[in-house]
Copies of this chain bind each other. A is one copy, B any other.
Amino acid sequence: MKFNNEYKIGKNVILGKNVRIGDGTVIYDNVEIGDDSVICNNCVIGEPLNDYYSNEEYVNPKTIIGKNSLIRSHSIIYADSVFGDFFQTGHRVTIREKTEMGNNCSVGTLSDIQGFAKFGNYCRLHSNVHICQKAIIGNFVFIYPYVVLTNDPTPPSKICIGPTIGDYSQITTGSLIMPGIKIGENCLIAAGSVVTKDVDDFSLVLGVPAQKKCDVREIKSRNDKDESYYPWMNNFERGMPWKGIGYEEWIKIKN
């Protein structure tokens, strides 16, 4: 009932094999969607940039969405971005121009990516995450609801310095990351933290302003009090490339 061919499509749109497009969706010029992807209803893909409203000779930049992607309903993705394969979104996502995402990334319902941002592979943004311009996010970074990344140290100003987040770090619910902050690899940012200083690899930080509490490897597992839970890759594999073989084995094969 979702796919009645009631959508609009622009010029030079390239649709892969078996792509399904929901009712009420609009796909603008120069969008490319990989094989076996689903674009649900009422989405806008390749939303024209601001120039569109005033420049009669406006040409829409290219937008690429990888194979096996699933864009849920009412999402708006601006032109001039590139998403890898197995890209997924929730509903009502807004993603501005010049966003680059690797493979296997997901962006939750209501999340808002301001563009000019870069993500590695296997990043997961949950619902209602706000990513500022110039943010640089590594691989396997998970960001939880109501986290905001910021980029202007003296608002309002012309300075725009996005935060950097290293591989495997977990930025948990309601944290605020200040402009230009560098969060290392394997960090855990506790809920409600305001991160005003750089964070070393393997640190748990918490509070307002956030202070280092301990090394994440000191945090015990809920299920086995003798075992450290972090690095989490040994304890979590849903959707991860090491599913079924374990992280250690995957790293060996990969290298």
CB within 8 Å of B: which residues of A?
Answer: 1-2, 8, 10, 23-24, 26, 28-29, 38, 41-42, 44, 47-48, 52-53, 70, 73-74, 76, 90-92, 94, 109-110, 112, 114, 124, 127-128, 130, 142, 144-146, 148, 150, 153-159, 170, 172-174, 176, 178, 188, 191-192, 194, 207-208, 219, 221-223, 229-230, 232, 235-236, 238
Contacts and interface: CB of A to CB of B under 8 A. Distances in A.
Contacts of A173: 148, 150, 176
A26 B4 CA distance: 13
Given A74-B74, A156-B170, 11 more contacts: A74-B76, A146-B176, A148-B174, A150-B173, A155-B170, A155-B172, A156-B232, A158-B238, A173-B176, A174-B176, A208-B208
Contact of A91 (B41, B76, B236): B76
A189 to B, nearest CB: 10
Contacts of A232: 154-157
A231 to B, nearest CB: 11
10 contacts: A1-B29, A41-B44, A73-B76, A128-B130, A145-B148, A150-B191, A156-B170, A157-B235, A159-B223, A191-B194
B130 A142 contact: no
A157 B222 contact: yes
Nearest to A9: B1
A41 B208 CA distance: 41
Contact of A146 (B48, B109, B146, B229): B146
B74 A53 contact: no
A180 to B, nearest CB: 10
Nearest to A142: B156
Contact of A1 (B8, B38, B192, B235): B8
A114 B110 CA distance: 13
Contacts of A130: 127-128, 145-146
